[in-house]
C-alpha cells in the first residue's frame, strides 16, 4: 500500500512539473495589443483640514465608457459620511464626503484600477456644418451648444475670431483642422495658477490646457458644433498633483477627442484617464480650512488573456476571489502539517481555514481582537446560562444571538472611530464566528473549559499561519498562473496520510515518561 501511495505522489509531482515547464516555456504567452500590456492602478489621496464646523467635499469619479473600464473601486473614508451621486446636467459620477463637525485633518483615499485603450477617428470629408443640428440633438446634449460663464461662445470677440480662423469653410473636417491649427499656433502654452476663460485667453494668447480647451470649445460652439471640455489624468507611474484638460466635439454622431496641447487631432492615447465631462471642478469643498490631494499612479502587468485554458480569461474583478480559492488547498496542507506532525488541536480540519479567510476580510489584528472578544464574552454568558439549567439547543441559540449583538456593537464603534474596514465582519466572518462559538461551547460541555481553550488557541495559531502563507502576493500569482501546482499539494497530502510517527507536542506531553526512562537508564 505504501508503494502505491509513493508512486501516485511521484506521478502527481511529475505531472505538475511537466505542465508547469510546458506552459512556462511553450505557452506562447501574449497580450491583446489594444490594451498596452497593463492595468493602471490609481490612488487619489485627499487630506481635508476641518475648522470645527460642518464640512463637505466632492470628487468627480471616473466612469466606464467605450475606451476605459474601471475595476476594483475602494473607498477609505475615515469615518466620514460618503455617497456616490450623479450630476443632473453633465451625468458625471461624483463621490461626496461630509461630516457634521470636522476638526483637524482626515485621510481619505479613493483607489481603483483602470483599463484604457487608444482611439483614432475619421471625420467624413463630405460632412458639412449643420445650422439645424440643435433641433436634432437629445435634450441632454443641447447643453454643449450653449455659452457658459467661462466659455463665451456667443461673444462678438469669439465670433469674429471664428470668421478669421475658418473664413467661409463649411466642411467640418476642414473647419476642425483650421480651429485646431489656430489654437496651437496662436495660443502659447504656459502653466498657470488657475485657468482663464475663453475671452481672457484670446486677449493674452497664453494659457494652460484649461484655457486652450475653453477657446477651442467656444470657437466650436460658435461654429455650430456641439463641444465640451473633458478633464482627467495623463497616467504615468509616480506621484503627481497635475490634471489635464482636452475637448470632445460631436461630429457625425460621435464624440471625437481633440487635444491642442499635446497635438492629438481626432485621437486620444491609451494613457488618458477621463474623470469628468463639462467645464467643472475636479475637487470642490465647503466648510474646510483647506484640502490637500495627490495622485499616485502605478500599473500591474496584464496577464496572457488570449489563452483559452488560462484563468486570466476570467473577468478582472473575479481574479481576487479566484486567487483566494486556489490557496485554500494550501491552507489545508498547513492544517494537516500542524495537526499530524506538530499535534496542534483545532476545531476540525476547515476551522482554521475559515478563520484565515475571515482574517482576509477584516485584517489580522482586528480579526484576532474580535475572536478574543467574542469567545471571552460567550464564555461568561455560558457560565450565567449554566446556572439556569436550560437545554443545550436554546443555550447555543442564545450564544449565537450574543455574537450578533457583539457584532452590532463593534460595527457602531468602528463607525465612530473611523475603522470602516471592520464593517466587513458583517458578511462571511460572522458565520465563522458563530460556528466557532458553537464549537467552543459544545467542546466546553463535552470535554471541559481547558480543552475548549486549547482547541481555540490551536485554531487561532494555525489560522494565523495559514493567513500569512495565503497572503503572500507572489504565491497567489503563481497558483493563479499555474493551477496545476495544486497537484503537488495533493501529492504532499498523500504522503502525510501515511505518516505514523510521533507528534512533536507528544514529546512534551510524555516528558515525564522520558525523564523516568532516563533515570532508570542512569540507575542501571
Confidence (pLDDT) at 33 = 38
Would you call 118 exposed, middle or buried from its count of C-beta atoms within 10 A (0-12, 13-18, 19+)?
A: middle
Does any domain span residue 124?
Answer: yes
**Do residue 224 and residue 132 come from a single domain?**
yes
The number of residues in the chain equals 524
- Do 107 and 151 fall into the same domain? no
Considering the domain architecture, whether residues 44 and 108 belong to the same structural domain is answered as yes
For a pLDDT cut of 70, what percent of the chain falls above it?
87
pLDDT at residue 460, as a whole number: 87
Q: Confirm whether 504 is domain-assigned.
A: no
Mean pLDDT, to the nearest integer, of 264-290? 95
Residue 31 or 508, more confident: 508
- Average pLDDT, stretch 262-278? 96
Whether 76 and 129 share a structural domain: no
Q: What is the pLDDT of residue 135?
A: 83
CATH number at residue 128: 3.10.620.30
433 and 334 together in one domain: yes
Q: Do 322 and 295 share a structural domain?
A: no
pLDDT tens for 392-450 read 788 878 877 887 788 788 777 766 665 555 555 545 566 677 677 777 777 877 777 78
Residue 475 domain-assigned? yes
Mean of pLDDT values over 201-224: 95
In terms of residue numbers, what domain contains 202? 119-269
Query: Which tens digits make up the pLDDT trace of 136-163?
Result: 888 888 899 999 999 999 999 999 999 9
pLDDT at residue 152, as a whole number: 96
The predicted structure's pLDDT at residue 29: 45
Task: Identify whether residues 92 and 230 lie together within a single domain.
Answer: no
**d(Cα 100, Cα 306) in Å, to the nearest integer?**
51
Specify the residue for cell string 480559492: 325
Q: By percentage, how much of the chain surpasses pLDDT 90?
A: 41
Give residue-wise pLDDT tens across range 103-124.
Answer: 889 999 999 989 899 999 999 9
Under a CB-based contact definition with an 8 Å cutoff, are residues 66 and 255 in contact? Answer: no
Averaged pLDDT, 344-370: 78
Lowest mean pLDDT among 123-137, 169-183, 508-522: 508-522
**Same structural domain for residues 187 and 223?**
yes
Could you give the number of structural domains in the chain?
A: 3
* Grid cell listed for 209: 490646457
Report phi then psi at 36, rounded to 5.
45, 30
pLDDT of residue 456: 84
Q: Say if residue 323 is in the same domain as residue 467.
A: yes
Q: Taking Cα atoms as reference points, which of 301, 300, 335, 311 lies closest to residue 485?
A: 311
Check which CATH number belongs to the domain holding 87 and give it: 2.60.40.2250
Q: What is the mean pLDDT of the chain?
A: 84
- Asked if residue 336 and residue 245 are part of one domain, the reply reads no
Q: Does residue 414 lie in a domain region?
A: yes
Q: Which H helix or E strand runs over 369?
A: helix 364-388
In a domain, 236, yes or no: yes
Evaluate whether residue 282 is within a structural domain.
no
Q: Do residues 379 and 472 both lie within one domain?
A: yes
* Cβ atoms < 10 Å from Cβ of 234: 17
Domain-embedded: residue 19: no
Amino acid at each position: 500500500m505504501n508503494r502505491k501511495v509513493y508512486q501516485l505522489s511521484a506521478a502527481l509531482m511529475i505531472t505538475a512539473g511537466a505542465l508547469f515547464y510546458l506552459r512556462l516555456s511553450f505557452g506562447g504567452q501574449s497580450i491583446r495589443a489594444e490594451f498596452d500590456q497593463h492595468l493602471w492602478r490609481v490612488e487619489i489621496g485627499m487630506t481635508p483640514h476641518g475648522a470645527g464646523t460642518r464640512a463637505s467635499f466632492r470628487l468627480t469619479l471616473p466612469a466606464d465608457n467605450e475606451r476605459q473600464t474601471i475595476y476594483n473601486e475602494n473607498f477609505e473614508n475615515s469615518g466620514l459620511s460618503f455617497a456616490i451621486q450623479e450630476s443632473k446636467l453633465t451625468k458625471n459620477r461624483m463621490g461626496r464626503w461630509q461630516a457634521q463637525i470636522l476638526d483637524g485633518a482626515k485621510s481619505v483615499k479613493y483607489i481603483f484600477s483602470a483599463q484604457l485603450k487608444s482611439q483614432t477617428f475619421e471625420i467624413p470629408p463630405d460632412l458639412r456644418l449643420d445650422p439645424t443640428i440643435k433641433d436634432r440633438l437629445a435634450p441632454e446634449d443641447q447643453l454643449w451648444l450653449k455659452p457658459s460663464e467661462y466659455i463665451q461662445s456667443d461673444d462678438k470677440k469669439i465670433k469674429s475670431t471664428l470668421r478669421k480662423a475658418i473664413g467661409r469653410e463649411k466642411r467640418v473636417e476642414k473647419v476642425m483642422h483650421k480651429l485646431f491649427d489656430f489654437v496651437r499656433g496662436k495660443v502659447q502654452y504656459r502653466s498657470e495658477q488657475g485657468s482663464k476663460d475663453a475671452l481672457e485667453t484670446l486677449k493674452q494668447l497664453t494659457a494652460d490646457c484649461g484655457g486652450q480647451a475653453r477657446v477651442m470649445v467656444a470657437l466650436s460652439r460658435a461654429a455650430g458644433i456641439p463641444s465640451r471640455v473633458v478633464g482627467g489624468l495623463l497616467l504615468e507611474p509616480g506621484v503627481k498633483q497635475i490634471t489635464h484638460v482636452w475637448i470632445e466635439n460631436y461630429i457625425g454622431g460621435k464624440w471625437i477627442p481633440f487635444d491642442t496641447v499635446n497635438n492629438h487631432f481626432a485621437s486620444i492615447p491609451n494613457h488618458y484617464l477621463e474623470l469628468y465631462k463639462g467645464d467643472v471642478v475636479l475637487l470642490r469643498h465647503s466648510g474646510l480650512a483647506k484640502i490637500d490631494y495627490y495622485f499616485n499612479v502605478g500599473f500591474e502587468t496584464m496577464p496572457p488573456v488570449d489563452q483559452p485554458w488560462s484563468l486570466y480569461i476570467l473577468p478582472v474583478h473575479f481574479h481576487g476571489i479566484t486567487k483566494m480559492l486556489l490557496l485554500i488547498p494550501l491552507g489545508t496542507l498547513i492544517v494537516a502539517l500542524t495537526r499530524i506532525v506538530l499535534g496542534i488541536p483545532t476545531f476540525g480540519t476547515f476551522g482554521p481555514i475559515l478563520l484565515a479567510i475571515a482574517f482576509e476580510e477584516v485584517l489580522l489584528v482586528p480579526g484576532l481582537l474580535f475572536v478574543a472578544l467574542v469567545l471571552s464574552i460567550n464564555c461568561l454568558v455560558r457560565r450565567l446560562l449554566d446556572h439556569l439549567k436550560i437545554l443545550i439547543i436554546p443555550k447555543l441559540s442564545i450564544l449565537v444571538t450574543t455574537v450578533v449583538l457583539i457584532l452590532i456593537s463593534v460595527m457602531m464603534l468602528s463607525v465612530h472611530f473611523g475603522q470602516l474596514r471592520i464593517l466587513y465582519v458583517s458578511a462571511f466572518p460572522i458565520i465563522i464566528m458563530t460556528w466557532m462559538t458553537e464549537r467552543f461551547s459544545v467542546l466546553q460541555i463535552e470535554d471541559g473549559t481547558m480543552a475548549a481553550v486549547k482547541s481555540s488557541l490551536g485554531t487561532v495559531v494555525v489560522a494565523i499561519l495559514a493567513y500569512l502563507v495565503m497572503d503572500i502576493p507572489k504565491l497567489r500569482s503563481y497558483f493563479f498562473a499555474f493551477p496545476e501546482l495544486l497537484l503537488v499539494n495533493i501529492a504532499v497530502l498523500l504522503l502525510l496520510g501515511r505518516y505514523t510517527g510521533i507528534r512533536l507536542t507528544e514529546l512534551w506531553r510524555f516528558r515525564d515518561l522520558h525523564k523516568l526512562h532516563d533515570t532508570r537508564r542512569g540507575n542501571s
